[in-house]
Amino acid sequence: MRIIGDFVHTLPRKPGVYRMIAADGEVLYVGKARSLRSRVAAYTQPTRLATRLIRMVSATRTMEFSVTGSEAEALLLENNLIKRFRPRFNVLLRDDKSFPYIVIRRDTEWPQLAKHRGARDPANEYFGPFASATAVNRTLYALQRAFPLRSCSDGVFVTRTRPCLQYQIKRCTAPCVGRIEMREYGALVGEVRDFLGGRNREVQQALSERMDEAATSLEFEQAAVLRDRIRALTHIQSHQAIALPSIDEADIFAAHAEGGQVCIQVFFLRAGQNLGNRAYFPSHGRELDPPAVLTAFIGQFYDARPAPKLILTSHDVDERELVESALAISAGHKVEIRTPKRGDQKDALDQAVNNAREALARRLAERGTQRTLLEGLARVFGLDASPERIEIYDNSHIQGSAPIGAMVVAGPDGFIKNSYRKFNIKTEGAAGDDLAMMREVLTRRFGRALKENPERDEEHWPDLVLIDGGETQLEVARQVLTELGLEDIATVGVAKGPDRDAGRERFFMPGRAPFTLEPRDPVMYFLQRLRDEAHRFAIGTHRTRRSNELMRSALDEVPGIGAGRKRALLHHFGSARAVAVATIEDIKAVPGISGAIARKIHDHFRGGR
CATH code at position 578: 1.10.150.20
Are residue 206 and residue 119 in the same domain, yes or no? yes
Largest separation between any pair of C-alpha atoms in the chain:
90
Give the residue, 242 or 258, on which the prediction is more confident: 258
| R_g over Cα of the chain | 29
The single-letter code of the amino acid at 285 is G
The reply to whether 105 and 68 lie within a common domain is no
Please check the confidence at residue 311 and state whether its pLDDT lies above 60. Answer: yes
> Is residue 188 included in any domain, yes or no?
yes
Give the CATH number for residue 41: 3.40.1440.10
Split at pLDDT 50, 70, 90, the class of 501 is low
In this structure, are 308 and 332 located in the same domain? yes
Does any domain span residue 516? yes
- In the predicted structure, residue 205 carries a pLDDT above the cut 70: yes
Least confidently predicted of 416-425, 497-506, 514-523 = 497-506
pTM, full prediction: 0.65
CB 467: neighbour CB atoms within 10 A?
A: 25
pLDDT at 16: 94
The pLDDT tens digits of the residues spanning 541-585 come to 888 877 666 545 667 777 777 777 877 887 777 777 778 888 888
Give the residue-averaged pLDDT of 159-186. 88
pLDDT of 15 reads 93
Mean pLDDT of 13-42: 92
Residue 609 pLDDT more than 60? Answer: no
- Residue type for position 594: S
Residue 162's contacts (CB-CB under 8 Å, 6 or more residues apart) are: 177
- How confident is the model over 445-455, as pLDDT tens digits? 999 999 888 88
**Are residues 234 and 277 both part of a single domain?**
no
What sign for the dihedral angle of Cα 176, 178, 181, 182?
positive
Last-in-domain residue among 206, 238, 270 = 238
CATH of the domain at 518: 3.30.420.340
Domain containing 443: what range? 390-549
Interhelix angle 133-146/182-196, rounded to 10 degrees, is: 140
Tell me, yes or no, whether 524 lies in a domain: yes
Task: Please tell me whether residues 409 and 532 are part of one structural domain.
Answer: yes
pLDDT at 606: 74
Question: Coil, helix or strand for 500?
Answer: helix
How confident is the model at residue 153, as a pLDDT? 83
Distance CA 554, CA 575 (A): 10
Would residue 334 count as lying in a domain?
yes
Amino acid at 5: G
pLDDT digits (tens, 9 = 90+) for 365-380: 777 888 889 999 999 9
**Average pLDDT taken over every residue of the chain:** 85
Confidence band of 97 (pLDDT split at 50, 70, 90): low
Least confident interval from 290-299, 379-388, 550-559: 550-559
Identify which has the larger pLDDT, 414 or 550. 414
Q: Is residue 244 predicted with pLDDT exceeding 70? A: no
Contact between residue 506 and residue 369 where contact means Cβ atoms under 8 Å apart: no
Total number of domains constituting the chain: 5
Residue 370 lies in a domain: no
Mean pLDDT over residues 278-302, rounded? 88
**Domain stop point among 85, 118, 133:** 85
User: In the predicted model, what is the mean pLDDT of residues 231-235?
Assistant: 69
| Residue pLDDT, tens place only, 66-75 | 999 999 999 9
- pLDDT confidence of 498, banded at 50, 70, 90? low
Contact 389, 461 (CB under 8 A): yes
Same domain, 225 and 267: no
The confidence band for 386, taking pLDDT boundaries of 50, 70 and 90, is very high
User: 106 and 136 share a domain?
Assistant: yes
Question: Residue 499's pLDDT is what?
Answer: 57
Do both 348 and 475 map to the same domain? Answer: no
Give yes or no: residues 315 and 429 share one domain: no
The C-alpha atoms of residue 400 and residue 174 are separated, in whole angstroms, by 40
Q: Does residue 560 share a domain with residue 538?
A: no
Instruction: Compute the CA torsion angle 269, 274, 276, 279 (nearest 10 deg).
Output: 60
- Co-location of 43 and 112 in the same domain: no
Give the dihedral of Cα atoms 210, 215, 219, 220; nearest 10 deg: 110
Return the pLDDT at 192.
83
Question: What pLDDT shows up at residue 20?
Answer: 93
CA distance readout (Å), 375 to 384, 411, 527:
10, 12, 13
Q: Are 447 and 478 in a shared domain?
A: yes
pLDDT, tens only, 325-356: 999 998 889 999 999 998 888 988 998 999 89
Domain end among 308, 343, 361: 361
Better-predicted residue by pLDDT, 483 or 131:
483
Q: Is 380 part of any domain?
A: no
Residue 382: inside a domain: no
Asked if pLDDT for residue 296 goes beyond 80, the answer is yes
Q: Is 135 part of any domain?
A: yes
- Identity of the highest mean pLDDT range in 137-151, 175-189, 244-258: 175-189
